[in-house]
Every structure is written in structure tokens, then in C-alpha cells.
Chains A and B, each alone.
Chain A
């Protein structure tokens, strides 16, 4: 047990003393890049063209929702579905989020989740305001 802990302690101190891996990596790739591609997001062009096509199709479909006057529950459902599909494709592929490390993905994608609370509170609040206006100002629908 003590031996094990010693090992961990040693490793931690050594890691702390050692130069950071990231600058080393950058330096090495900067040297390498004279001949090969620089580091960074490198993916085949076909992926982008495919996503481009999907985005066109999804936009056309969400436009057709309006063009054919889809009503009822189906309308918001379709609009939101196409919206999130498009947003997901843009963030994941065009903005390369799919290939980033989890530390960055979570730092960017988790904070917006708290917006759900804001939206929920404001939905309750607007409902209250609507009925207050309807009942007390008599300008009902």
C-alpha cells in the first residue's frame, strides 16, 4: 500500500516538474508541418459536402412545413426537430465538436443546459401575464 502510494506521489511530482505535454506537441508538429500537414482538424472534403447536402435538405423540409401550412401539434414538432438536427450537424461536423476532447465539449455544451430553466420560468411567467391581462383588462381572445 505504502509502496503504491509512493509510486503515485512520485509520478505526480514528476509530472508536475515535467514540461507540459501540449507545448511539446505543438512544437513537434510545427517542425513536422514543413513537410506534412499541420496538426489540427483534418477530415476528408466528402464529409463537409455530405453535411452541406443534409443541411440543404433539412432547410427545404422546414420551409415546406410553412409552405404546406402544416398546423396543430405537428408544426412545432417538425420545426423543432429540423432545427435541432441542423444545429447538431453544424456544431458536430462544421465546428468539429465531434472530434474535440471531452474537456472542451463539456465546457461548451453543458452551460447552455441551464437555459432550460430560464425558458421554463419565462413560460410560466408569460402564462401568468396572459391570464392577468385577459381577466383584469378585459382584452381577452
Chain B
């Protein structure tokens, strides 16, 4: 049986396209995510679950902010920095946003060069991404220090207004910062493996794309935090 079936692949109908492919992939007793690396599919499932975690944080933030009768501190003023004797609103957050977007760009290029099997460029671009991530975390540490030490913001209260501000801020940005920190470690490990030629044997550089998915997700979450927490 195995001898005949192994050659008997020519008369199988080609996989359907469009909406029919969705029904066909999910309906039959077979692999659902065709032509997708297993690790990649699982990373997507993980990111989906992470989406729900962050959505719960942001939704509870919305609930707290909408239900409090005490005025909410104005993030534009809270996160302003005085540069050259003039306060510039949200400038640190803007710089952090641009840093994270740049790191996403270098990561996308790293994935591209990985599939071209250009190990040197892949390693350098991944290390650049990790470097951007590390600088993002250190700026966040600076921001936290300023808020805790100078402004006196605590998870249970603050002198600026609604006490829920602190708990929302530390929970949301803290969890995001944790993701960035883990991403920096993750990327450094994969980058060093690429540099050592660990993936040369199989010639399969899908791991770089999987790491990239995680990193882009971290950037994606920041897009929502930036818009909903800092700008709103």
C-alpha cells in the first residue's frame, strides 16, 4: 500500500483557492494550516491569546477611566519633558514609539535576509532590533523612575487626580515592557544561533520569521497603548 500511494499523488485535485480553501482546509481530517511552518502557526495562536490578555487590560482601563468621578490626569502634561527650558508634551513617548517602529523595520529586513540566507546581515539586523528594544526598555525605566520618584504616582493613588491612573499605567506598560524584555532575550538567542550557523544544515530559516512575528506583535501592542493610553 505504501509503495503505490507514494507515487499516487498526481491525480489529487489541486488545493482550492479563495473561500473554498477555508472550508476545505478546516473540514477534512488533515493539516489545517497548509504550507505554514508548525512553529509559526503556534506562534500565531500564542499571539492571539496574548491579544486577549492585552485587550482585557485595555478594556478594564477604559472601564475605570469612564466610571471615575475624579478627573483623569492629562497624560500629555504628565509625560511632558522639559527640553531647553520649554516643556514638550509626550516627547519621550514619541521617541519610544519611533524607536519601536524602527526596530520593527529592522526585524522585517532581518527576516527577509534570513530567507536569502545572508547570515551576517540577518545577525546584524536582529542585534540592531534587540538594541532598539533594550533602549526602549531603558527609556521606560527612566519614565517609571520619573513618575514614581518625582510625581509620586503609586498603584493605589497619585497627587494628579484619579487614583486608578497609577494602577492602569503600571499594569499596562509594565506588562508591555516585560514583553519587550523577553523579546530582546529571545532575539539575541536566535541571532547568536544564526551567527553560529545552527540553521545551515536544514537551510530552514523560518525560526527568524517566528521570532519576527513575536517582535512585530510587541510593536503592535504599543500602537494601541500609545493611542489609547497616552493620546486619548
Name the one of B18, B62, B89, B101 contacting A52, with C-beta atoms under 8 angstroms. B101
Q: Cβ of B15 and Cβ of A21 under 8 Å apart?
A: yes
Name the one of B48, B76, B115, B219 contacting A40, with C-beta atoms under 8 angstroms. B115
**Interface positions of B from 69 to 88, Cβ below 8 Å from A:** 69-70, 76
Name the one of B6, B25, B108, B223 contacting A101, with C-beta atoms under 8 angstroms. B25
Interface of A is mostly: helix
- A20 at the B interface (CB under 8 A): yes
- A33-B216 CB under 8 A given contacts A82-B227, A104-B44, A127-B66: no
Q: Nearest chain-A residue to B97 (Cβ)?
A: A59
Q: Collect the chain A residues with CB atoms within 8 Å of residue B105's CB.
A: 48-49, 51-52, 55
Q: Cβ of B231 and Cβ of A101 under 8 Å apart?
A: no
Q: What range describes how many residues of B lie at the interface? A: 35 or more
Q: Cβ of B227 and Cβ of A83 under 8 Å apart?
A: yes
Separation of A11 and B44 alpha carbons in the complex (Å): 32
Please choose the segment from B135-143, B149-157, B182-190, B198-206 that sits at the chain A interface, where 4 or more of its residues have CB less than 8 A away. B198-206
Q: Collect the chain B residues with CB atoms within 8 Å of residue A87's CB.
A: 220, 223-224
Separation of A76 and B67 alpha carbons in the complex (Å): 18
Q: Cβ of A90 and Cβ of B204 under 8 Å apart?
A: no
Q: Cβ of A83 and Cβ of B223 under 8 Å apart?
A: yes
Separation of A52 and B41 alpha carbons in the complex (Å): 25
Separation of A63 and B13 alpha carbons in the complex (Å): 52
Q: What range describes how many residues of A lie at the interface? A: 35 or more
- B94 at the A interface (CB under 8 A): yes
**Interface positions of B from 42 to 61, Cβ below 8 Å from A:** 44-45, 47-48, 51-52, 55-56, 59-60
- A3 at the B interface (CB under 8 A): no
* A128: min CB distance to chain B, Å: 8
**Residues of A at under 8 Å CB distance from B?**
11, 14-22, 24-25, 30, 33-34, 37-43, 45, 48-49, 51-52, 55-56, 59, 62-63, 65-67, 76, 79-80, 82-83, 86-87, 90-91, 93-96, 100-104, 106-108, 111-112, 115, 118-119, 122-123, 125-127, 129-130, 133-134, 137, 139-141
> What are 15 A-B pairs at a CB distance below 8 A?
A15-B12, A38-B117, A40-B37, A41-B209, A48-B112, A52-B108, A55-B101, A56-B101, A59-B97, A83-B228, A101-B33, A101-B34, A101-B35, A103-B34, A104-B36
